[in-house]
Structure 1
Amino acid sequence: MVSIRLEPLKVERITVAIADLPPDLMGTKLIQLSDLHYDGLRLSEELLTQAIAVSNRENPDLILLTGDYITHQPDPIDELVMRLQDLKSRLGIYAVLGNHDYGYHDAKVRVINALNSIGIKVLWNEIATPFGSDFPIVGLADFWSSEFNPAAVMTQLSPHIPRLVLSHNPDTAEILQQWRVDLQLSGHTHGGQVIIPGLGAAALIIQQIHRYTPKILHPWIPFVNECSRVVKHWQWAQGWHQVHHNQLYVNRGLGTYFPGRFFCPPEITVITLN
């Protein structure tokens, strides 16, 4: 088995200002988890146990999961939900699917059914109102799926009402600029996994080198195709971003692909609304 370099879990704490947030929701605490890739290789049992314990200690009002629970075959989802049923929050758990959750035969149905079986509500182009109708949660179909259709969902909401949007792929923030998105939560990038101190994600550096070099040299730039297939906007690889009038937060995820993480630890995000 090829070894994957791991780093310890890091808790990221952010406070996000939401315009028109109902007064009784001031101080609401959210937990975001993303990109578990529970397949026996990319996520250790120790890290998963730690992430669940940390989440529960925070006593969150709501837990939000932003996709990629499996990697290829859906079989591991049955064991994963046995672990995720230990997650606790005051108002429950809501989730969206990632690109790895629906591509393999019946994976989409199996993942949704498994998560629903333990009370995790999966939103696929749907709106939920655990905080009431004055602060809805929108869960979008994955960007790469044939069912990604934000207009059909976003136009159901008045522009005067704040909302939280769950969308696995942060590239959707570019499209979502045409609607009000007070906070978009995404994952997908694993934070870039390899970070060059002082410069940022290695994938962004590769992307910029590709952009500003002659085409004759492009075949000699390593990993450029792999990076471009993941996302277009590597500048949004992790953390908080202002995208036009909207806010985006990208979680680095828990799962790890080869060769591993360098200065890019797996993440659990604690978000306080203000």
Structure 2
Amino acid sequence: MHRLLSGPLSVERLTVKIAGLSASLQGKKLVQLSDFHYDGLRLSDAMLEEAIAVTNQAQPDLILLTGDYVTTTPEPIHQLTPHLKKLQSRHGIYAILGNHDLYYKNSQTVITQALTNIGIRVLWNEIAYPLGRELPIVGLADYYSREFNPAAIFPQLDPSIPCLVIVHHPDTAHYLQAWRVDLQLSGHTHGGQIIIPGLGAVLPYHKKIIRKIPIRVRRYFPCLRKEFFIVRHWEWLQGLHRLGNNQLYVNRGLGTYFPGRIFCPPEVTVITLETE
């Protein structure tokens, strides 16, 4: 989408403290990218290339992609992957799928294979150890899929060891409180997309707003359609949140929907790990 409708790229840099983090992992740097919605409309090549350049300049130890590479049909993944192939990371690139990546029956297979072909490992209810056994990475199936089942995965982990989780939908953090999740990385919300200074995101007020906008107008704006409002925890729209002993970070994503972003710029997240 044109820069006018998305705003300039924002690089969010933060340090996350993790209890019991191994000394060998102190200072390790993660970069999160999310919600590309790459289809020739919602994310420009210029913005995408800028995000990739910023990512590589950070010299990350690990790159994590948290879903929604396309919006509807899976075919645009073949135009996206040549860009993603330029990403550089010491210990590889790991990804999970979002709800839009499952839109059609063949979407999951097509997108997973395209990412795998360029060396990106897609996790679907799997555990990986790119940073060693002292910090497992759990990649979960999308929340809306029938295969979202953390109870089958977490018993395989030692609860005395820190754990990092990547899963597209931030509402999953509610269910994951049953287990140790030192840092969960999610996307999905686009940060709310339209933020009113002093008030916050427009989306949580949709029930009041929706009734005042004629249907003939609303149908042109996906972010104003009633069925679009699929997040229960509006307080987790973006940024870092603590849920008991667990931590959740929600990335605003790179892509968008019409009418675009207002005071909610697209984001690349650079995270440095430290011992708590």
TM-score class, shorter-chain normalisation, is: over 0.9
1:4–1:149 distance in 2 versus 1, CA, 3 Å? farther
Alignment coverage as a number of residue pairs: 265
Opposite residue 132 of structure 1, the aligned amino acid is G
Between the aligned partners of 2:35 and 2:52, the Cα distance in structure 1 is: 14
1:252 maps to what in 2? 252
1:61 maps to what in 2? 61
- Secondary structure in structure 2 of the residue aligned to 1:46: helix
2:136 maps to what in 1? 136
2:117 maps to what in 1? 117
Between the aligned partners of 2:205 and 2:178, the Cα distance in structure 1 is: 29
Contact residue 2 and residue 43 of structure 2 kept, 8 A: no
Following superposition, the deviation at residue 155 of structure 1 comes to 1.2
Contact residue 4 and residue 259 of structure 1 kept, 8 A: no
User: Which 4+ residue blocks in structure 1 deviate beyond 6 angstroms?
Assistant: 1-4
Between the aligned partners of 1:244 and 1:6, the Cα distance in structure 2 is: 34
2:92 maps to what in 1? 92
1:18–1:55 distance in 2 versus 1, CA, 3 Å? same
- Secondary structure in structure 2 of the residue aligned to 1:17: strand
Between the aligned partners of 1:168 and 1:219, the Cα distance in structure 2 is: 30
- State TM-score, norm by structure 1: 0.92
2:269 maps to what in 1? 269
Between the aligned partners of 2:211 and 2:232, the Cα distance in structure 1 is: 19
Following superposition, the deviation at residue 103 of structure 1 comes to 2.0
Calculate the aligned-residue CA RMSD, in Å: 1.9
Contact residue 124 and residue 141 of structure 2 kept, 8 A: yes
Contact residue 253 and residue 268 of structure 1 kept, 8 A: yes
Following superposition, the deviation at residue 204 of structure 1 comes to 2.1
Opposite residue 269 of structure 2, the aligned amino acid is T
Between the aligned partners of 1:224 and 1:77, the Cα distance in structure 2 is: 26
Following superposition, the deviation at residue 105 of structure 1 comes to 2.4
Following superposition, the deviation at residue 200 of structure 1 comes to 1.3
Between the aligned partners of 1:200 and 1:164, the Cα distance in structure 2 is: 29
Between the aligned partners of 1:58 and 1:2, the Cα distance in structure 2 is: 25
In structure 1, the gaps of 5 or more residues are 211-217
- Superposed counterparts of 1:202-241, under 5 Å: 202-206=202-206, 219-220=211-212, 223=224, 225-229=226-230, 231-241=231-241
In structure 2, the gaps of 5 or more residues are 219-223
Q: Deviations over 1:50-98 (max 9, x none)?
A: 0000101110000000000011111111111111000001000000000
2:105 maps to what in 1? 105
Contact residue 94 and residue 123 of structure 1 kept, 8 A: yes
Contact residue 204 and residue 235 of structure 1 kept, 8 A: no
- State TM-score, norm by structure 2: 0.92
Between the aligned partners of 2:41 and 2:65, the Cα distance in structure 1 is: 20
Q: Deviations over 1:145-185 (max 9, x none)?
A: 01000111111101101000001000000010110100000
1:107–1:4 distance in 2 versus 1, CA, 3 Å? farther
Between the aligned partners of 2:211 and 2:4, the Cα distance in structure 1 is: 27
Following superposition, the deviation at residue 201 of structure 1 comes to 1.0
Opposite residue 63 of structure 1, the aligned amino acid is I
Following superposition, the deviation at residue 198 of structure 1 comes to 1.4
- Secondary structure in structure 2 of the residue aligned to 1:32: strand
Opposite residue 129 of structure 2, the aligned amino acid is T
1:215 maps to what in 2? none
